[in-house]
Amino acid sequence: MNFLLPFLSRMSTGSLPVGVGTLELRPQAWAIHLVLARRHMHLGRLPPPPHLAKLENSSENAQAQAWIDKFKHEEIPKNIVELSFSRSSGPGGQNVNKVNTKATLRCPLSSSWIPLWARDYIKRTPSYVSSAQCIQITSTVYRSQAQNVQDCLSKLRSLVVDAALASIVAEPSEAQKERVRGFQRAEKARRRLEKSKRSEIKKNRSKGSRDYHD
């Protein structure tokens, strides 16, 4: 970027379109800060979820399922989560007490790539830390730090997929629909019978009252 400084130093604060986003010029004293603003740049290739707080009909269920079908095959980039490392106290061979192989992943629940409709489910899981409003996942499965990181990312993806699926209401089968219709018909018949009985009782009472007065 140094080759741009002579040109940029003569420009006032503003912005220029640069294909993938906007190059913002922010002269500040003698320093020029270049910020490449790009929508969803931090998400890598993760598909953005539909903006649905709840799934209330078949159309919304279909949108959610389509997103899940895409997301479950993607790898969550490391740069959109917070990772830390420590020495593992579990199995792992000779490296276990010498190298920071234990991986801990933290991710804000408010992250834009986590579906709104899945968040209530995530809050009820052991992986959710309410005090920090984030998801926390650890791994000590492998001797390698890198492998434990991948294990954390895989667990995070599975958690989000499970949470997203849990809110999808399965469409009833034709047999189930027919059973429901049968129950509804039986209930209507029962109500008609009860109504007929009540009507007959009232009629008999009315007839008995007239016979008494006669």
Residue 196 has pLDDT above 80, yes or no: yes
DSSP letters of 132-175? TTEEEEEE-SSSSHHHHHHHHHHHHHHHHHHHHHHTPPPPPPHH
Mean pLDDT for 41-57 is 83
Q: Give the Å distances, CA to CA, from 68 to 46, 48, 113.
A: 11, 10, 12
The residues spanned by each domain of the chain are 2-39, 43-166
Q: Cα angle at 77 between 126 and 44, to 5 degrees?
A: 130
Q: What pTM was computed for the model?
A: 0.61
Mean pLDDT of the chain: 78
Q: Are 140 and 148 in contact (CB under 8 A)?
A: yes
Report strand pairing: 22-28 vs 14-17: antiparallel
26 is written with which tokens?
Answer: 């922010």
Q: Are 25 and 11 in contact (CB under 8 A)?
A: yes
The pLDDT-based confidence of 201 (bands split at 50, 70, 90) is confident
Question: Smallest Cα–Cα separation from 133: which of 144, 142, 122?
Answer: 122
What CATH number labels 43-166?
3.30.160.20
The pLDDT-based confidence of 145 (bands split at 50, 70, 90) is very high
Angstrom distance (rounded) from CA 2 to CA 125 = 49
The pLDDT-based confidence of 36 (bands split at 50, 70, 90) is very low
Residue 149 has pLDDT above 50, yes or no: yes
